[in-house]
């Protein structure tokens, strides 16, 4: 488990470093690049592109190449980042409100995360975890986002098949000792569901196959060698290949790639998020991203 703990520790320090950079009039792209550089300079890999989602966008906003977005007063910002060490993953998130008082909705997600950590153990059902998360969020006067969830993780797989619900889903499956999961409550003052928004420029390789075009084949090899099945962004490819070749490759490889959309609260409500990676133990859990 050494790699998992190393990933968790670096993820935590990158989160704390990044949180300090989120200020009014700061460039979203520059903050993103500084966080990514921090991770790489400290011998980590990006488990996925750093995501900084604002207000009603709950997840999957990764800075575009030449992104001109800046942080503005009253923005509710979700910083969601992950670090990989030899494929072992740390995943964490924190919410920040810029120059405003939205502390209650931020606290709702944080309380839900804290109480979930307090009850999680081997043998607990997924429904029980979701019930605790939902109860804490509703107690603060907000709603959990029901079609977003935490998730299990394995090496080189951020989402490995088990979803950790943010509400009482009646799911009877149980957590197992030794499992690594991300607990990820989202709180909103909207109606509690997200819809697909714009294309995010985040992609993940589904499978590796032979392709005819030489240029696309080189980019596919690069993706496989550098990312395996971990998500990546178009911006990262543009650091290695021309825009023409990248655009052509993304089109020709579309059947081999999963494309992530922005996830937007469907009624326009603002969204907060909190997240930790934990190791399930017999009597509880060990938080790896404190």
The answer for residues whose C-beta is within 8 angstroms of residue 94's C-beta and 6 or more apart is 15, 19, 78, 79, 273, 274, 275
- Judged against a pLDDT cut of 90, whether residue 13 lies above it is answered with yes
How far is Cα 274 from Cα 290, in angstroms, rounded to an integer? 12
Q: What domains appear along the chain, each with residue ranges and CATH number?
A: 2-196+263-287 (3.90.230.10), 200-261 (1.10.10.10)
CB 116 within 8 A of CB 41: no
Buried b (16+ CB within 10 A) or exposed e, 7-19: bbbbbbbbbeebe
How far is Cα 109 from Cα 56, in angstroms, rounded to an integer? 15
How far is Cα 173 from Cα 124, in angstroms, rounded to an integer? 8
- Judged against a pLDDT cut of 90, whether residue 88 lies above it is answered with yes
Q: Using 50, 70 and 90 to split pLDDT, how confident is the model at 3? A: very high
Average model confidence (pLDDT) for the chain? Answer: 97
Token pair recorded at residue 162: 């088990």
Other beta carbons within 10 angstroms of residue 172's beta carbon come to: 9
Average pLDDT value for residue range 224-231: 94
DSSP run (H or E) holding 200:
strand 194-205
Q: What is the pLDDT of residues 113-155, one digit of tens each?
A: 999 999 999 999 999 999 999 999 999 999 999 999 999 999 9
Q: Using 50, 70 and 90 to split pLDDT, how confident is the model at 102? A: confident
- Judged against a pLDDT cut of 90, whether residue 90 lies above it is answered with yes
Q: Give me the pLDDT at residue 272, please.
A: 98
Beta bridge partners of 273: 186
Question: In what order do the strands lie in the sheet containing 143-144?
Answer: 143-144, 186-188, 271-273
Catalytic residues: 80, 91, 151, 159, 184, 275
- Judged against a pLDDT cut of 90, whether residue 101 lies above it is answered with no
């Amino acid at each position: 488990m050494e790699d998992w703990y190393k990933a968790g520790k670096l993820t935590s320090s990158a989160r704390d470093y990044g949180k300090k950079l989120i200020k009014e009039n700061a460039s979203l792209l520059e903050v993103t690049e500084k966080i990514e550089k921090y991770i790489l300079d400290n011998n980590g890999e990006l488990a996925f592109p750093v995501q900084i989602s604002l207000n009603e966008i709950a997840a999957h906003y990764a800075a575009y190449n030449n992104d001109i977005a800046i942080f503005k007063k009253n923005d509710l910002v979700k910083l969601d980042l992950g670090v990989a060490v030899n494929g072992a993953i740390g995943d964490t998130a924190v919410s920040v409100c810029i120059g405003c008082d939205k502390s209650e909705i931020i606290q709702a997600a944080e309380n839900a995360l804290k109480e979930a950590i307090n009850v999680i153990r081997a043998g607990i059902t997924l429904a029980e975890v979701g019930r605790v998360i939902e109860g804490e969020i509703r107690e603060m006067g907000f709603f959990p986002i029901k079609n977003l969830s935490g998730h299990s993780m394995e090496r080189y797989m951020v989402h490995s098949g088990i979803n950790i619900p943010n509400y009482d889903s009646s799911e009877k499956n149980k957590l197992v000792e030794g499992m690594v999961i991300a607990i990820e409550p989202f709180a909103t003052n909207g109606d509690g569901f997200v819809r697909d928004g714009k294309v995010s420029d985040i992609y993940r390789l589904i499978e590796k196959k032979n392709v005819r075009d030489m240029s696309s084949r080189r980019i596919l090899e690069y993706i496989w060698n550098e990312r395996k099945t971990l998500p990546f962004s178009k911006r990262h490819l543009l650091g290695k290949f021309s825009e023409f070749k990248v655009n052509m490759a993304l089109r020709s490889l579309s059947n081999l790639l999963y494309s992530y959309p922005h996830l937007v609260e469907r009624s326009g409500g603002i969204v907060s998020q909190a997240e930790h990676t934990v190791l399930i133990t017999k009597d509880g859990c060990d938080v790896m991203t404190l």
